[in-house]
Amino acid sequence: MYTMVFRVVSTKLTEEEHGILLDVCNIIGCTPSNLIREAILKIINQEQRTIQREPNLLQALSRELNERPIQQQKEFPSYELAKILGVRIN
Total domain count, the chain: 1
The answer to whether residue 8 sits within a structural domain is no
pLDDT digits 0-9 by tens, 47-83:
777 666 665 666 666 777 777 665 544 444 566 666 6
The answer to whether residue 6 sits within a structural domain is no
The answer to whether residue 55 sits within a structural domain is yes
The answer to whether residue 69 sits within a structural domain is yes
Range of the domain at 47: 15-85
Percent of the chain with pLDDT over 70: 58
The answer to whether residue 23 sits within a structural domain is yes
The answer to whether residue 90 sits within a structural domain is no
Torsion over CA: 47, 33, 12, 17 (sign): positive
pLDDT digits 0-9 by tens, 74-84:
444 566 666 66
